[in-house]
Structure 1
Amino acid sequence: MNTLNKKLLNTTLVCSAIQLALAGNVYAQEAEDEAQEFEAITVTATKRAQVIYEVPIAISAFQGDMLAEQGITDLTDVGKFVPNLNVTGFSAGHTSSANPFIRGIGLQDHLITTDPGVSVYVDGVYLGRQVGQNWNLQNIERIEVLRGPQGTLYGRNSIGGAINIITKQPNEVNTTKVGLEAGTRGRLRTDIFTNRELSPGLAFNMNIGYTERDGLGEFYNLENPKWDVGETQEVYGRFSVKYEPSDSLRFVLTADGNNGDGGLRPYTAMIDELGPNTRYTSGNNGVGVALTNADVAPDIYDNATGTDAVNEVSNNAHGVSFTTEWDINDDLMMKVIASHRSSEYKAGLDDDATVYALDHYPERGTADQDSLELQFSGYLGENADFVAGLYWFQEEGDNRQGSDSSFDGGGNTLQLDQEATSKAAFINIGYDVDDALRVSGGLRYTEDEKEASANVFPPLGTIYDSDEWDELSWELAANYTFENGMNAYATIQTGYQGGQYPARPYCLIGQFFGNGGFDDLDNAIAAVNADNCFTATDNITAINYEVGVKGRVNSYLDLSIAVFNTEYDDLPYQVSQVSEAGFDTANLVVSQTSRGVEFDSNLTLGNFTMQTSIGFMDVDVDDQLVNGTVFQPVAPLTPEWTVAFGPAYEMFLEDGASVKFRLDYSWRDDMYGEPSSAPERMTLIEDRTLVNMGITYTPGNEAYTLGLYGRNIFDERYDNARLNTGDYVLRILSNDASEFGVRFTTEW
C-alpha cells in the first residue's frame, strides 16, 4: 500500500473513531433528547418495504427533499456522494449522458450493441439506454443505490449494481410547490409541482420544469454557431394519476418526457504526448503535414472544429407506465408494471479536435423499449415472506453515422441495428428463524436473444448476426439483529449479462480486403459473412461475497460498513483505436476481481449533522496475451478511493425562523480513463476535489425557503474520460465549472 493510501486509510479510521466517540459521549442523554433522533429510511431495494438497516446488501439512500441541499441536480451529482460509485459523462460528447460505474463495472460505450453494467430503474421501469433520458431529479421521493450484483431481483445488466429512482406518488394532500434558481454561468432553473385530490380515491400530481446553463467555450472556427461548448437547455415534465377504487386495489398511470438541446461537451485532443506520427496528418495543400497540439484550441474548453455537424447535441425521450397493485388478501399481493419508452439523440465528436476534416463523426441514435413485469408478494405462514414474478423486455434501437462523417478525410459509415428480447422468472423467499435471525434466498432464470446488424463499408453491405443466452442467477443471505439494534449480514449473490457485440466493427473492412477485396468481390463478401468479426461475447457472470454491519449505534449515529469480493468472468472491455479501416472498437474479454471496503454514516448532535461516505477498492484483471505481448489490463473509470462528507448546522432564531449552513466535500482518486489493448496506451486521469456549499433561510411559518448556493466553489476542472486511439488521446472534459446563485422555493 503506497503512502497516499496509508494516509487515506488512517484518515478513514480517524473519522470513524471521532464519530463513534462523539456519539458515545452523548449516549446517556438519549432519553431526554429523543427529539434529535433522525428517522430511518424505508427502502424497496428487495421489492418489499424494509428499513434500510434490514437489507442484507450495501445500499445508500437519498431522501428527495434533501437532494437540492447537497447540490444534487442530476444522476452525475449522486455519484459524488456514494462510496465506490463514479458517474461519468462520455457518450459521443453528449451533455445529457450519465454513465454509472459501481465497483469497477459500468457502461464503456453508449452504442446500441452494448449494454450497461449498472441498471437504472424509475418507479420499477428499467431504462435500457442511458443517453438522452430525463436526469433532472425533481419530484423525487428517494434514490437508492444498490452496490454489487443484483441478478436475482433486478436481472440482467445489473452485474455492477442498480440505481432505483422512486418518484412521489399522488395522494390526498393538496399541495403546490414552486422552485426558482438563478446563478452565475447563466443558470436558470424553474420547476412547478402540484398534487391534488380530485375525489376520494382519485388524485394526481405533475411537475414541469425548465433549465438552462451557459457553456464554457466557443466554436471559434464556425460561422454563427447556435450554441457554445457545453451550453445546455432542457424542458421536462412528469404527470401521474392514481385511482384507488377500494382499499385493496390501486392503479397508477404515469407519463414523462424531456427535450433538450445544446452545445457539444467540452473536450480536446492530446497529440504531441504520443510522439511523432506519420499517418495522422492534415493533408494540408495536398501534402501530409503531421498535426501537433498547436492545431487544437489553445484553450481546452474552446473547440477548433470546422465541421458544423458536430457542434450541436439534442435529446428527446418520453415514456408511459401503468402500474396495478391488488391486495388479494392479507397474505398475498399482486403487482403489474407495464411500460413503453422511446428516446433519440443527436451528438458526435470531431475526434481530432482541429479544423481539418479528418476524424469527425456526427451521430444519431434511437431506442424504443417495452416491458412487462408481474409480481406476487406476501407471506407464507407467520415467519416466511416471498417475492416472485415474471418479466419481459424488448428493445429495438439503431445508431447512424452517415455521409456527414469523415475518417482521414474520406467517407465513413456506421450503421448499427439491434433488437433485444429478455424473458425471466424469479423468486426470493425470506424466513425469520427467530426475532434476531433472518435468512433469505432467491433464484432468477433469464433467457436473452439479440438480433444485430452492422454496415461499416457499403461495398461489403450489411452483416447480420444473432445469438441467444440463458443463465440461472441465485442469492443467499443471512441477517442478524443484535440486542442493541445493530444488524450484521452475509450475502453471496450472482449477476448476469448477455453477450455484447462490438460497438464499431471496422474489423470487417480488414477482413474484406484480406479475403481479396475488390479484386475478388463475391468471394470476399462470402468469406466475411462466413467468418466475420461481428460476433457477440459469451455470457458475462459475476459472483459477489459480502459481509457487513449496519444500523443505529445510538440515537445520534447510524452507520454501514461492507466488505466485498466480486469475481467477473467473460467481461468485455470495449477497446477503441484508429486503424487503417476506421475508428474500431472491439471487445477485449477479461476476468476481473474487485474487492474493497465501504463506509457510510450519519451523525446528528443537536443541530449539527454530518454525512460521511468512504470507499476503497482494489481491482485485479487477469493477464492478457495481445499480439504476442503479455500485459495486465486496467479497469476503466474506477478510482481506488472515493471520499465524501457533508457537515451541516441549523441555527434557530427567536421568531422561530431557521438558518441552515451546509458544506459538501467530494474527493475521487485518480483512475484510468479507458481499458486498453496495450500497456503503452493506458491513460491516467488525475484525482479531483469538489466542494459545494449552501446557506438556507426558512421563516417561522415555513412559507418559503431562500438560499444561497455554490457548486464546485473552487472551480475544479477535471476529466470525465480519456481515450488513447494510437494517434491521439481524446480527452473528455467535465462540464462542471463553479456556479453561485440563489434558490427560492415556496409551498402551499
Structure 2
Amino acid sequence: MKTNTDVSKTLASKLSPVALAVAMTVPALSNIAVAQEAEATEEQQFEAITVTATKRPQVIYEVPIAISAFDGDKLAAQGITDLTDVGKFVPNLNVTGFSAGHTSSVNPFIRGIGLQDHLITTDPGVSVYVDGVYLGRQVGQNWSLNNIERIEVLRGPQGTLYGRNSIGGAINIITKEPDQGDVTKVNTEFGTRGRVKADIFVNHGLSETVAFNMNLAFNKRDGLGEFINVPNAEYDVGETEDISGRVSLKWEPSNDFRMVLTADANNGDGGLRPYTVLIDEVGSARYFGGGNGLGVELRNTDVTPEGADIYDNATGTEAVTGVSNEARGLSLTTEWDINDDYTAKVVASQRTSKYKAGLDDDGTVFSLDQFPERGEADQTSIELQLNGYINEYTDFVTGLYYFNEEGSNRQGDDSNFDGGPNLLELDQETTSKAVYVNVRHDLTDELSVSGGIRYTEDEKEASANVFSALGTIFDSNEWDEVTWEFATNYTFDNGMTGYATIQSGYQSGQFPARPYCLIGQFFGAGGFDDIEGAQAAVRANNCFTASDNITATNYEVGIKGRVNDYFDISVAVFNTEFEDLPYQVSRVSEGGFDTANLVVEQTSRGIEADATFSYGNFSMMTSIGYMDVDVEEQDGFNPVAPLTPDLTLAIGPQYTFELDGGDSIRVRADYSYRSEMYGEPTSAPERMTELDSRALVNFDIAYTPANEAYTVALYGRNIFDERYDNARLNTGDYILQILSNDASEFGVRFTTEF
C-alpha cells in the first residue's frame, strides 16, 4: 500500500491542480453504480472489449493506460474507411497527411507528438503495428482496414512494451485470425465522387489442424480538381485507386502449438493530393519580386487563375501529377504453450514498400521548383516473447526484439530548384535491438501493481548527396536508453478500475531530412576555388549530424469501467514531459528546400474521456479531449506543437428500429470536431500557418432483414462538405496550403455473409 501512496504523491506533483481535481472526483461515480447495482451481470462483463495493449489479453477496463478500441465489424457504420478516419474519433488524436503530396500518407499526432515528414532519416513519434509487426514507414502501406478484428489506440509513451518511436503512443491493428468456421463475407460500396469499393473475405477450415482466410479488396474514388495545364494527366487531383490482398494460413496440430503465416500486398495509383500555394501573402523577393532563376514575378493568380477552383492544380510538370505506392509483407507468428503457466511466442516479419510522389512547390505552369520524388524501404523484424504466470498472483511478459530497416529517397533528373537542377540522394540503415520485461502482481483482490523495464540500442548509418561537387556526406551514430513504467490498479466494489501510471518513452536521434545547408557550407569553406579544402571542411563540421536521444516521461491517473447497466466511461488526466524533441523546420535556403531539426523541450498536459451510453435500442458514443502544450522558447523563437488541436470532440448516437416480422433499421450519426491548430512549429502571426477548426458529420442508415442474410445501408460522409486545411507550411517564399481530400460523399453499401 505504501508503494501506491508514493506513486500518487509523485503524480499529484506533476499533474495540473485543476485536471487532477477533475480526475479525483470521478471515483464518486462508483457510489452511483453501487447504489444502482452492486455487481455487473455475467452478460455485461462479456460485452467489454478484450485488448492486447500490454501484449497479454486483458479486458480494456483493466489496462492501466488510456486506450480507445474499435470493433472492426462496426467501422463502416461509423464512416471509418482508413486510419485518417480513426483520428476523428479518439480524444487528443489528430491524423493528417502531407508526405510529398501522397494520398496514402498517414501521420498520427497523439497528445502533441507526431511527425509530418516521411523521409528515411525521420521517425514517427506514434508507432503503428499490424498483428504485432511494427511498420517503419507509412507512405506506401495504405491500409484499407478490411479484415480487421479491432483497432487499439494507446495514448501516451509506450516505451517499455513497444519500444522506440512510441513516445506519443501506439496504434495496434489486429486482423482476423483463421479458424475452423466456414464464412464468406462480401462488401460493396457505390457512391458519389465515383466511389467504387468491393472486398471479399473468406475463412475456411481445410482440415482439423489447418485453416485459412483471405481478403481481396478494390477501392476507387474520383478526384476533386483537374491539372489544368497538363491535359494528358492520367489522374485528376486527389483521385485514388487501390487494390490489396491478404492471405493467412494457420496450422494448429495441437491445443498447445499454433503457427500463422500471412502474406499481404497492395498497389495504389492516383493523382497528387490537393494543395495550393499562397504567394501574395508572403511577398517574397524571390517569388513575388521575381528574384528567381527564371526572373518571373509570381502571384496567387498564377496558381489559381480567375475562375479556377482552388482544388485545380496549375502545374505544367507532368511528373508531379501522379502518385503510386506498393507494399509487400510476409510474417510468421508461432505460439507454443509450454505448460499451463508459460507460453512462448515468436513474431517474424519482412516488409518492403515503395512510393512515387512529389510537389510542384511554386504551383504554376513555370518550371521553377518541382520535386518529383521516389522512395523505398525494406525492413526485417523479429520478436521473441515469453509470458505466463509465476504464481496465482503474478503474471509477466518478457522478450527480445530486433529490427533492421534500409531505405532511400531520391530526387534527380526530373527535379529542379530555382529553375535549375536539383539533387537529393538520401540513404539510411537503422538497426535496433531491445530486451524487455513487464510484471503484474495482485497485492489483494482489489489492488494490483505492475512495472516494466526495457533496454534499447539503436544504430543509424546515413548519407546525403545534395550537390555533386561536394559528393556524398556520410555519418553514423549510436544511441541507447532504458525505459520503464510503474502502475497501480484499484478495483472498486462495482468493478470500476482506478489507476495511476508513471511511464517513459524513447526515440533515437534523427539526421536532418533535407540538408541543403551543406551547399552553403561548401561555398563558405572555399567552394570551387578550393574544392578539396571545402569538402574536407564540410565533412569535418557539417550540418548533417544527428540529434540526441529523445525522451518522454508521462504521469497519468484515470478511472474506467461500467458505472451502471447503461453507462461505460474512461477518464484520464496526464502530464508528459519531453526532452530533446526535434521539430522539423523547413525553409528555402540558397541550395534548396532545407529541413532542419529544431530541438525543444515540451510539456503536454490535459484530460480526456471516452464514454458509451446504452439504453434499450438507443446508444451513444462520445469522446472528448482537452490539452495544453508548452514548448520552451528557443532564442526568441516561440515554437508550438504542430497539428495539435487544443480540443477534440466526437459524438455518435445510434438507434435501432425493430420492424414487424423481425426486420430492423439502424440509424447512426457521427459528429467529429477538431479545434484550431498550427500547421508547423511556429506561432508567429506573420507565418500565417494557423488552421481553422473543423466539424465533420457522417450518417449511416442500415436495413437488415429478420434472417440477417444481408445488410443494405445508405451512408453519408462529411455530409455538409466541410473543406479544411490538412497542413500549412511557410518556407519564407511561399505558403504550402495542403487541402483535405475529404469532400462529401453519399452512397449505398451492401454486405452479405454466408
* TM-score relative to the length of structure 1: 0.95
Matched, 1:633 2:628: no
Instruction: Give the Å deviation of 1:396.
Output: 0.1
For residue 277 of structure 1, what is the aligned residue in structure 2? 285
Matching of residues 270-419 of structure 1 within 5 Å: 270-275=278-283, 277-278=285-286, 288-297=295-304, 298-419=308-429
Q: Distance in 1 between matches of 2:265 and 2:753?
A: 24
In the alignment, which of 730, 739, 752 is matched to residue 733 of structure 1? Answer: 739
- Residues 280 and 288 of structure 2 are in contact (CA less than 8 Å); yes or no, is this contact kept in structure 1? no
Q: Distance in 2 between matches of 1:278 and 1:375?
A: 57
CA displacement, residues 602-639 of structure 1 (integer Å, 9 cap, x when unaligned): 110110000000000000000101xxxx1320100000
- Residues 264 and 347 of structure 1 are in contact (CA less than 8 Å); yes or no, is this contact kept in structure 2? yes
For residue 15 of structure 2, what is the aligned residue in structure 1? none
Instruction: Give the Å deviation of 1:555.
Output: 1.5
Q: Distance in 2 between matches of 1:278 and 1:426?
A: 53
From the superposition, tell whether residues 30 and 85 of structure 1 become closer, same or farther in structure 2 (CA, over 3 Å): same
CA displacement, residues 74-121 of structure 1 (integer Å, 9 cap, x when unaligned): 000000000000000110000000110000111121000000000000
Q: Distance in 2 between matches of 1:134 and 1:345?
A: 11
Q: Distance in 2 between matches of 1:38 and 1:618?
A: 37
Q: Distance in 1 between matches of 2:302 and 2:541?
A: 41
- Residues 424 and 444 of structure 1 are in contact (CA less than 8 Å); yes or no, is this contact kept in structure 2? yes
Question: 1:175 is matched by which residue type in structure 2?
Answer: V
Instruction: Give the Å deviation of 1:338.
Output: 0.4
Question: 1:441 is matched by which residue type in structure 2?
Answer: G
Q: Distance in 2 between matches of 1:25 and 1:150?
A: 33
Instruction: Give the Å deviation of 1:35.
Output: 7.4
- Residues 609 and 647 of structure 1 are in contact (CA less than 8 Å); yes or no, is this contact kept in structure 2? yes
Question: 1:129 is matched by which residue type in structure 2?
Answer: R
Matching of residues 215-226 of structure 1 within 5 Å: 215-226=223-234
Matching of residues 162-561 of structure 1 within 5 Å: 162-275=170-283, 277-278=285-286, 288-297=295-304, 298-561=308-571
Instruction: Give the Å deviation of 1:201.
Output: 1.6
Matched, 1:76 2:53: no
Q: Distance in 2 between matches of 1:219 and 1:281?
A: 26
- Residues 657 and 665 of structure 2 are in contact (CA less than 8 Å); yes or no, is this contact kept in structure 1? yes
From the superposition, tell whether residues 50 and 25 of structure 1 become closer, same or farther in structure 2 (CA, over 3 Å): closer
CA displacement, residues 317-376 of structure 1 (integer Å, 9 cap, x when unaligned): 010000100000011100000000000000000011111111110000000000000000
For residue 95 of structure 1, what is the aligned residue in structure 2? 103
- Residues 287 and 296 of structure 2 are in contact (CA less than 8 Å); yes or no, is this contact kept in structure 1? no
For residue 577 of structure 1, what is the aligned residue in structure 2? 587
- Residues 440 and 478 of structure 1 are in contact (CA less than 8 Å); yes or no, is this contact kept in structure 2? yes
CA displacement, residues 92-151 of structure 1 (integer Å, 9 cap, x when unaligned): 000000110000111121000000000000000000001010310010000000000000
Instruction: Give the Å deviation of 1:434.
Output: 0.8
**3-state DSSP class of the match of 1:362?**
strand
Question: 1:400 is matched by which residue type in structure 2?
Answer: R
Matched, 1:719 2:725: yes
Question: 2:136 is matched by which residue type in structure 1?
Answer: G
- Residues 428 and 463 of structure 2 are in contact (CA less than 8 Å); yes or no, is this contact kept in structure 1? yes
- Residues 279 and 288 of structure 2 are in contact (CA less than 8 Å); yes or no, is this contact kept in structure 1? no
For residue 588 of structure 1, what is the aligned residue in structure 2? 598
For residue 3 of structure 1, what is the aligned residue in structure 2? none
- Residues 279 and 287 of structure 2 are in contact (CA less than 8 Å); yes or no, is this contact kept in structure 1? no
Q: Distance in 1 between matches of 2:489 and 2:285?
A: 59
Q: Distance in 2 between matches of 1:44 and 1:430?
A: 14
For residue 153 of structure 1, what is the aligned residue in structure 2? 161
CA displacement, residues 547-586 of structure 1 (integer Å, 9 cap, x when unaligned): 0000000111110000000000000000000111110000
Question: 1:460 is matched by which residue type in structure 2?
Answer: L
CA displacement, residues 649-691 of structure 1 (integer Å, 9 cap, x when unaligned): 0011121111000000000001000114966436100000100
Q: Distance in 2 between matches of 1:477 and 1:29?
A: 26
Instruction: Give the Å deviation of 1:195.
Output: 0.2
From the superposition, tell whether residues 72 and 38 of structure 1 become closer, same or farther in structure 2 (CA, over 3 Å): farther
**3-state DSSP class of the match of 1:631?**
coil
From the superposition, tell whether residues 37 and 556 of structure 1 become closer, same or farther in structure 2 (CA, over 3 Å): farther
Instruction: Give the Å deviation of 1:273.
Output: 1.1
**3-state DSSP class of the match of 2:529?**
helix
Matched, 1:658 2:664: yes
Question: Pairwise CA RMSD of aligned residues?
Answer: 2.1
For residue 3 of structure 2, what is the aligned residue in structure 1? none
- Residues 283 and 289 of structure 2 are in contact (CA less than 8 Å); yes or no, is this contact kept in structure 1? no
- Residues 134 and 236 of structure 1 are in contact (CA less than 8 Å); yes or no, is this contact kept in structure 2? no
Q: Distance in 1 between matches of 2:401 and 2:351?
A: 16
Deviates more, 1:352-361 or 1:391-400: 352-361
Q: Distance in 1 between matches of 2:559 and 2:403?
A: 35
- Residues 698 and 718 of structure 2 are in contact (CA less than 8 Å); yes or no, is this contact kept in structure 1? yes
Q: Distance in 2 between matches of 1:559 and 1:287?
A: 61
**3-state DSSP class of the match of 1:655?**
helix
For residue 648 of structure 2, what is the aligned residue in structure 1? 642
Question: 1:211 is matched by which residue type in structure 2?
Answer: N
Instruction: Give the Å deviation of 1:289.
Output: 3.5
- Residues 151 and 158 of structure 1 are in contact (CA less than 8 Å); yes or no, is this contact kept in structure 2? yes
Q: Distance in 2 between matches of 1:398 and 1:340?
A: 17
The alignment of Structure 1 onto Structure 2 pairs a total of residues equal to 728
Instruction: Give the Å deviation of 1:723.
Output: 0.4
Instruction: Give the Å deviation of 1:277.
Output: 2.8
From the superposition, tell whether residues 282 and 187 of structure 1 become closer, same or farther in structure 2 (CA, over 3 Å): farther
- Residues 408 and 425 of structure 2 are in contact (CA less than 8 Å); yes or no, is this contact kept in structure 1? yes
- Residues 116 and 157 of structure 1 are in contact (CA less than 8 Å); yes or no, is this contact kept in structure 2? yes
Question: 1:145 is matched by which residue type in structure 2?
Answer: V
For residue 124 of structure 1, what is the aligned residue in structure 2? 132
Q: Distance in 1 between matches of 2:286 and 2:222?
A: 39
For residue 5 of structure 1, what is the aligned residue in structure 2? none
**3-state DSSP class of the match of 1:510?**
helix
- Residues 285 and 291 of structure 2 are in contact (CA less than 8 Å); yes or no, is this contact kept in structure 1? no
In the alignment, which of 60, 72, 87 is matched to residue 68 of structure 2? Answer: 60
From the superposition, tell whether residues 677 and 520 of structure 1 become closer, same or farther in structure 2 (CA, over 3 Å): farther
Question: 1:258 is matched by which residue type in structure 2?
Answer: N
Q: Distance in 2 between matches of 1:287 and 1:621?
A: 40
The ranges of structure 1 where at least 4 consecutive aligned residues each deviate by more than 4 angstroms after the TM superposition are: 23-31, 33-38, 278-284
- Residues 294 and 419 of structure 2 are in contact (CA less than 8 Å); yes or no, is this contact kept in structure 1? no
**3-state DSSP class of the match of 1:512?**
helix
CA displacement, residues 192-245 of structure 1 (integer Å, 9 cap, x when unaligned): 000000000210000000000000000010131110000000000110010001
